[in-house]
């Protein structure tokens, strides 16, 4: 990649974390996290699951809002024109591939949404939940970087939130599109950070909330 984007100012500054984070956990459902499924169990996704599990433990202890989602339809009839046959054939209400990954989901804490497009913000109640919680900073985690993460980052940005993407908490089928999409969003919409950066930030938030 050359720096023609940088030359005209893309990615010129960091956005920075705000005062109140919210975590958007995208598509950590077994269809993506369990190798028994066609789209499931890729190494970058497995790494993201493990790192996200650590993040969420800290986030919940700090009383930070956690929104989690899965993709599912009533039938092919209400699904958009996906070019991925597995999504059309298997991501239906009640199919086991739509169950949330147990290492990630805490049903007594997390707020859960069913989504139907790539973005966790597209026609779900996450925006309302984050507004009510007065969130100003959205941490986007999950899979896949070049699909639903990219879409979710765009929407979080569009809604006026500060957005951060910890690169080791998002995963994909392959490294190439994973990196290319992080580069695209880091130039425009979001800070690309690491799990450790987010953990430090969440500790600060926890400290402030306990005072």
User: Dihedral of the CA atoms 160, 181, 151, 91 (nearest 10)?
Assistant: -150
Is 93 near its own copies (CB under 8 A)? yes
C-alpha span between 152 and 26 (Å, rounded): 8
Q: Which residue has the tokens 């973005």?
A: 119
Cis bond before residue 144 (omega within 30° of 0): yes
- 75 interacts with its own copies by CB under 8 A: yes
136 binds its own copies (CB under 8 A): yes
Instruction: Enumerate residues 176-195 that contact its own copies by CB under 8 A.
Output: 176-177, 180-181, 183-184, 186-190
Buried b (16+ CB within 10 A) or exposed e, 174-185: eeeebbebbebb
Interaction between residue 125 and its own copies (CB under 8 A):
yes
Catalytic site includes residue 148: yes
Site string for its own copies, 144-183 (x = CB under 8 A): --xx--xx--xx-xxxxxxx---------xx-xx--xx-x
**Applying CB under 8 A, does 133 fall inside the site for its own copies?**
yes
43 contacts its own copies (rule: CB under 8 A)? no
Could you say which of 69, 97, 143, 148 is catalytic? 148
- What 3-state class would DSSP assign to 11? coil
Is 210 a binding residue for its own copies by CB under 8 A? The answer is: no
CB of 13 to its own copies, least distance (A): 6
Nearer to its own copies, 75 or 211 (CB): 75
Is residue 81 close enough to count as binding its own copies by CB under 8 A?
yes
CB of 133 to its own copies, least distance (A): 7
**CA–CA separation, 48 vs 59, rounded Å?**
16
Which residue is listed with tokens 């969130």? 135
Provide the CB-side half-sphere exposure for 15 (13 A, CA): 24
Question: Annotated catalytic sites, by residue?
Answer: 148
């Amino acid at each position: 990649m050359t720096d023609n984007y940088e030359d005209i100012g893309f990615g010129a500054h960091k956005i920075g974390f705000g005062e109140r984070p919210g975590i958007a956990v995208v598509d950590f459902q077994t269809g993506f996290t369990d190798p028994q499924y066609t789209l499931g169990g890729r190494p970058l996704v497995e790494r993201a699951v493990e790192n996200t599990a650590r993040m969420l433990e800290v986030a919940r202890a700090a009383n930070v809002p956690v929104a989690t989602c899965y993709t599912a339809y009533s039938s092919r009839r209400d699904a958009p024109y996906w070019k991925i046959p597995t999504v059309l054939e298997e991501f239906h209400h009640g199919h086991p591939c739509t169950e949330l990954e147990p290492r990630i989901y805490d049903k007594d804490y997390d707020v859960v949404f069913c989504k139907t497009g790539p973005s966790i913000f597209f026609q779900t109640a996450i925006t309302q939940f984050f507004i009510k919680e007065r969130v100003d900073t959205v941490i986007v985690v999950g899979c896949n970087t070049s699909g639903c993460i990219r879409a979710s980052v765009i929407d979080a940005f569009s809604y006026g939130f500060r957005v951060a993407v910890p690169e080791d908490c998002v995963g994909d089928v392959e490294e190439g599109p994973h990196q290319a999409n992080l580069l695209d969003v880091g130039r425009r919409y979001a800070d690309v950070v690491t799990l450790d950066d987010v953990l430090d930030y969440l500790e600060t938030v926890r400290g402030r909330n306990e005072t």
